[in-house]
A and B are shown apart, each in its own frame.
Chain A
Amino acid sequence: NAGVTQTPKFRVLKTGQSMTLLCAQDMNHEYMYWYRQDPGMGLRLIHYSVGEGTTAKGEVPDGYNVSRLKKQNFLLGLESAAPSQTSVYFCASFRDGPYNEQFFGPGTRLTVL
């Protein structure tokens, strides 16, 4: 049981390049999320999904797109990277239960030059 995994762990992009971050979970969770964390700040929600084939915008969705074609995967895309998107990106998944706990991936550190 790997939990929540993220690929890649680190990436450096040039302004205008595109990339896709992959999040995978093997816990059969319905809910999946993408957050970004900037220095000295908490996590802010970018996009989320409440089930396969569904996506919705979070607090800071501009410049990002997502897809959830399979229940276990949630992809975050940057079509034209900007320096303001330099951040650490966390994926998380969630199940209803006694703790309502969100399980987090290890994070992806992205630098846009």
Chain B
Amino acid sequence: AQKITQTQPGMFVQEKEAVTLDCTYDTSDPSYGLFWYKQPSSGEMIFLIYQGSYDQQNATEGRYSLNFQKARKSANLVISASQLGDSAMYFCAMRGLSGSARQLTFGSGTQLTVLP
């Protein structure tokens, strides 16, 4: 079984500042992937970043980076230089890579608001 916990229902950040969104996970799968998705008010799910459990380096994609601490089972998303367009719901998710279903398990999300 897999579980994702996001303990911050809502976060505020000033424009141009960095923000960290927390995510902890639990799984018995020896191989897994961790994802972050953005869901703006329009409703679509936008893939942001991926981290494999065996990746040696933390993933980065533009202003997004994933602070992966395997021993602590955490996969926090760091957004640098926040922009007003970053205001959205952010979901952490994981997938076991050794099973057959490959489905994603999602956390409950963090609503990020960027203040001008």
Contact = CB atoms under 8 A, between A and B. Distances in A.
Interface secondary structure of B, over-half rule: loop
Contacts, number: 62
Interface of A: 31, 33, 40-45, 48, 50, 56, 58, 88, 90, 92, 94, 96, 99-104, 106-107, 109
The 9 closest A-B pairs by CB, nearest first: A42-B106, A104-B45, A99-B50, A43-B106, A100-B33, A42-B108, A45-B103, A107-B43, A31-B102
A100 B106 contact: no
Interface in B76-101: 91, 93, 95, 97, 100-101
A40 B108 contact: yes
Contact of A104 (B4, B44, B108): B44
Given A90-B45, A107-B43, A107-B44, A44 B106 contact: yes
B interface residue count range (under 10 / 10 to 19 / 20 to 34 / 35 or more): 20 to 34
A43 B104 contact: yes
B44 A33 contact: no
Contacts of B12: none
B101 A100 contact: no
A96 B91 CA distance: 21
